[in-house]
C-alpha cells in the first residue's frame, strides 16, 4: 500500500514514548526560519510606505509580492537535485545569504528591475532554505516531526509579528522602513558566526539508491494535501500582503497605524501556534487542521465585513489565531505521507506554494485596481471555503485508506 512508507515517519502518531529533544540543529532551524519569516512578513507592512515613496499602484506593488514565487518555482523544480548534489548544509546557508542579498536589492525600489530581481532571488533562496530546514528537522525528529514543525512555525510567528511593529516604529522615529531590513541582515551574520559548524545530515540511506528513492512517484494523498497547501498560502499571504492597505483604505485607519495594526495578526499567529504546539500532543493533525480552518473563516469574515474598526481588528486577530495552524498541520500531514521521499516532497510543496504566491497577490492587486481593495480582499473568503472543502475530502480519503494516520 502506498502509505506503508509512513510507518516510521508518521507525524500524526501521538502515542509514542520517544522523547522530543531540541539539539543545536533544531535551534538553528528555529532561528533561521524566524529570519526567513521576518523578511517575508516585512513586505506587506512596508508596502504602503514603499508605494508612497515611489508612486506605485496596487498592481506594480503586487509584482513585488509575486516575484518571490518565481524564484520559488525554480527551487521547486530543481531544489531536490541541488540538495542531493550539494547537501542540506549548503542549501541552508546559501539560501540564507541569498535572502539577505535579495532584500537589500528591494531597497532600491526606484529601479523596478533591481527590486523585483531582488525579490525573485529572495524567493529562490528562501524556498531553498525553508525546504532544506523542514527536511532536516523532519528526518531528525521522525515520528515527532509534528512537534518540531509546529515549533518551527512558532518561531516564525514570533519573528513575523516583529516586522510591522519595527517598520512602523522606525518610520515614527524618522529612521525609515529600511532599518527594519538592515537589522535582520545583521541578525543573519550573527547566526552564521555562532552556528556555522553545526552538521546538517542528509537523509539516512535505505535499500534504494538516493536518486532512485527520490524518483519514485509521490503518494496520491500527498498531492491532495499539497493542493490544500496552495490555498493555505494564498489565504495567509493575501491577508499579510494586503492587510495594511485594507485597514487604511477600507477601514479608515491612518497609514502608520494600519501598518502597525498588522502586529495583531502576527501576535495572534504566535499565540495560535503556541496553543497548536500543545494540542498536537493530544490531537491528530487532521482534526486540528479542520478546526483551524473554521476559526480562520470566522475571523476573516469579521475583519472583512465588520461595521466598526474595532471589530475589524478583532476579526484580524481571530483570523491570525486560525490561520496560524493551517500550514504546520497541513505540511505535517503531507510530509508524513511521503516520509521516505521528504526532500522530493518538500521540493514539490515549494513548487506548489510558489505558484500560489505568484497568482494570489497579482489577482488581488489587479482586482483592487479595478474594483477597490474592499471587494478584492473578499477573495480570501473564496479561497477559505474551497480549502475547507478540500480538507474535508482529503481527511475522509486518509481515514479510508490509512486509518492509523488520520
Q: Residue 232: pLDDT above 90?
A: yes
Supply the pLDDT for residue 335.
80
Supply the pLDDT for residue 135.
85
Integer CA distances (angstroms), 348 to 90, 316, 338, 380, in order: 20, 31, 11, 24
Task: Map 221-270 to HEC letters.
Answer: HHHHHHHHHHHHHHHHHHHHHHHHHHHHHHHCCCHHHHHHHHHHHHHHHH
Looking at mean pLDDT, say which of 276-285, 316-325, 339-348 comes out highest.
316-325
**Distance from C-alpha of 342 to C-alpha of 340, rounded to nearest angstrom:** 6
The stretch 167-185 carries a mean pLDDT of 92
In a domain, 304, yes or no: yes
Q: Terminus-to-terminus CA distance in the chain, angstroms?
A: 16
Question: SS3 of 207, please?
Answer: coil
Q: Please write the tens of the pLDDT for every residue from 14-64.
A: 444 567 778 899 999 999 999 999 999 898 888 888 888 888 887 788 888
Supply the pLDDT for residue 11.
40
Where is average pLDDT lowest: 141-145, 225-229, 238-242? 141-145
In a domain, 9, yes or no: no
Identify the band that residue 187 occupies on the pLDDT scale cut at 50, 70 and 90: very high
Cβ contacts of 129 within 8 Å, gap of 6 or more: 32, 33, 36, 91, 92, 95, 96, 98, 99
Q: Residue 391: pLDDT above 90?
A: yes
Dihedral sign (CA 342, 331, 404, 396): negative
Q: Please write the tens of the pLDDT for every residue from 98-117.
A: 999 999 999 887 788 899 99
Grid cell 500582503 in the structure block, residue: 241
CB 344 within 8 A of CB 289: no
Supply the pLDDT for residue 216.
74
Q: Residue 127: pLDDT above 60?
A: yes
The stretch 130-142 carries a mean pLDDT of 84
Identify the band that residue 7 occupies on the pLDDT scale cut at 50, 70 and 90: very low
C-alpha cell at position 44: 506587506
Supply the pLDDT for residue 1.
33
Identify the band that residue 203 occupies on the pLDDT scale cut at 50, 70 and 90: low
The stretch 238-267 carries a mean pLDDT of 89
Total domain count, the chain: 1
In a domain, 6, yes or no: no
In a domain, 12, yes or no: no
The stretch 222-234 carries a mean pLDDT of 93
The per-type count for the chain, helices as H runs and strands as E runs, is 15, 0
Identify the band that residue 3 occupies on the pLDDT scale cut at 50, 70 and 90: very low
Of 215, 221, 237, 206, residue with least CA distance to 337: 221
**Distance from C-alpha of 383 to C-alpha of 58, rounded to nearest angstrom:** 20
Residue, of 259 and 268, whose pLDDT is higher: 268
Supply the pLDDT for residue 181.
94
Where is average pLDDT lowest: 113-127, 128-142, 310-324? 128-142
Supply the pLDDT for residue 282.
85
Q: Residue 4: pLDDT above 80?
A: no
Of 87, 96, 158, residue with least CA distance to 343: 87
Q: Residue 173: pLDDT above 80?
A: yes
Integer CA distances (angstroms), 108 to 102, 119, 160, in order: 11, 11, 23
Give the CA angle between residues 114, 117, 120 to the nearest 5°. Answer: 155
**Distance from C-alpha of 206 to C-alpha of 208, rounded to nearest angstrom:** 5
Question: SS3 of 10, please?
Answer: coil
Integer CA distances (angstroms), 404 to 10, 16, 39, 146, 337, in order: 9, 13, 38, 15, 11
Supply the pLDDT for residue 2.
34
**Distance from C-alpha of 136 to C-alpha of 42, rounded to nearest angstrom:** 26
In a domain, 173, yes or no: yes
Q: Please write the tens of the pLDDT for every residue from 261-318.
A: 988 998 898 899 889 888 887 888 899 999 999 999 999 999 999 989 999 999 999 9
Other C-beta atoms lying within 10 Å of the C-beta of residue 207 = 6
The stretch 146-163 carries a mean pLDDT of 83
Supply the pLDDT for residue 204.
61
In a domain, 277, yes or no: yes
Supply the pLDDT for residue 99.
96
Other C-beta atoms lying within 10 Å of the C-beta of residue 187 = 16
- The alpha helices in 109-219, defined as continuous H runs, are 112-141, 145-172, 178-195, 210-215
Of 127, 337, 363, 319, residue with least CA distance to 225: 337
* Mean pLDDT across the chain: 85
CATH number at residue 178: 1.20.1250.20
Express as a percent the part of the chain with pLDDT over 70.
Answer: 90
In a domain, 4, yes or no: no
Supply the pLDDT for residue 231.
96
Express as a percent the part of the chain with pLDDT over 90.
Answer: 45
Identify the band that residue 81 occupies on the pLDDT scale cut at 50, 70 and 90: confident
In a domain, 351, yes or no: yes
Identify the band that residue 215 occupies on the pLDDT scale cut at 50, 70 and 90: low
Whole-model pTM: value is: 0.72
Domain range for 396 is: 23-200+208-405
Amino acid at each position: 500500500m502506498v502509505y506503508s512508507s509512513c510507518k516510521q515517519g508518521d507525524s500524526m502518531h501521538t502515542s509514542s514514548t520517544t522523547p522530543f529533544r531540541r539539539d543545536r540543529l533544531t535551534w538553528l532551524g528555529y532561528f533561521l526560519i524566524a529570519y526567513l519569516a521576518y523578511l517575508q512578513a516585512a513586505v506587506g507592512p512596508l508596502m504602503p510606505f514603499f508605494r508612497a515613496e515611489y508612486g506605485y499602484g496596487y498592481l506594480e506593488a503586487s509584482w513585488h509580492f509575486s516575484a518571490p514565487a518565481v524564484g520559488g518555482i525554480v527551487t521547486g523544480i530543481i531544489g531536490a537535485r541541488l540538495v542531493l548534489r550539494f547537501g542540506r548544509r549548503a542549501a541552508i546557508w546559501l539560501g540564507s545569504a541569498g535572502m539577505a542579498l535579495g532584500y537589500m536589492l528591494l531597497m532600491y525600489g526606484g529601479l523596478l528591475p533591481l527590486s523585483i530581481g531582488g525579490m525573485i532571488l529572495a524567493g529562490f533562496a528562501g524556498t531553498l532554505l525553508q525546504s532544506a530546514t523542514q527536511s532536516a528537522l523532519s528526518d531528525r525528529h521522525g515520528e515527532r516531526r509534528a512537534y518540531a514543525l509546529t515549533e518551527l512555525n512558532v518561531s516564525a510567528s514570533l519573528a513575523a509579528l516583529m516586522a510591522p511593529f519595527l517598520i512602523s516604529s522606525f518610520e515614527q522615529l524618522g529612521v525609515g522602513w529600511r532599518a527594519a531590513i538592515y537589522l535582520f541582515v545583521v541578525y543573519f551574520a550573527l547566526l552564521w558566526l555562532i552556528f556555522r559548524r553545526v552538521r546538517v545530515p542528509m537523509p539516512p540511506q535505505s535499500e534504494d539508491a538516493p536518486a532512485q528513492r527520490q524518483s519514485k512517484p509521490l503518494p496520491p494523498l500527498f498531492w491532495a494535501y499539497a493542493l490544500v497547501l496552495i490555498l493555505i498560502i494564498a489565504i495567509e499571504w493575501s491577508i499579510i500582503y494586503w492587510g495594511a492597505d485594507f485597514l487604511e483604505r477600507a477601514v479608515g485607519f491612518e497609514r502608520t497605524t494600519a501598518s502597525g495594526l498588522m502586529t495583531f495578526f502576527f501576535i495572534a499567529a504566535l499565540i495560535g501556534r503556541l496553543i497548536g504546539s500543545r494540542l498536537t500532543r493530544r490531537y491528530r493533525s487532521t482534526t486540528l487542521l479542520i478546526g483551524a480552518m473554521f476559526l480562520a473563516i470566522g475571523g476573516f469574515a469579521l475583519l472583512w465585513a465588520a461595521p466598526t474598526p474595532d471589530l475589524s481588528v478583532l476579526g484580524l486577530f481571530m483570523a491570525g489565531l486560525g490561520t496560524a495552524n493551517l500550514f504546520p498541520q497541513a505540511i505535517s500531514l503531507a510530509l508524513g505521507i511521503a516520509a521516505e521521499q521528504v526532500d522530493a516532497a518538500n521540493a514539490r510543496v515549494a513548487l506548489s506554494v510558489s505558484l500560489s504566491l505568484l497568482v494570489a497577490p497579482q489577482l488581488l492587486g489587479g482586482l483592487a485596481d479595478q474594483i477597490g481593495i474592499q471587494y478584492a480582499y473578499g477573495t480570501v473568503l473564496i479561497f477559505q471555503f474551497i480549502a475547507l472543502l478540500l480538507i474535508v475530502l482529503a481527511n475522509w480519503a486518509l481515514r479510508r485508506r490509512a486509518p492509523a494516520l488520520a
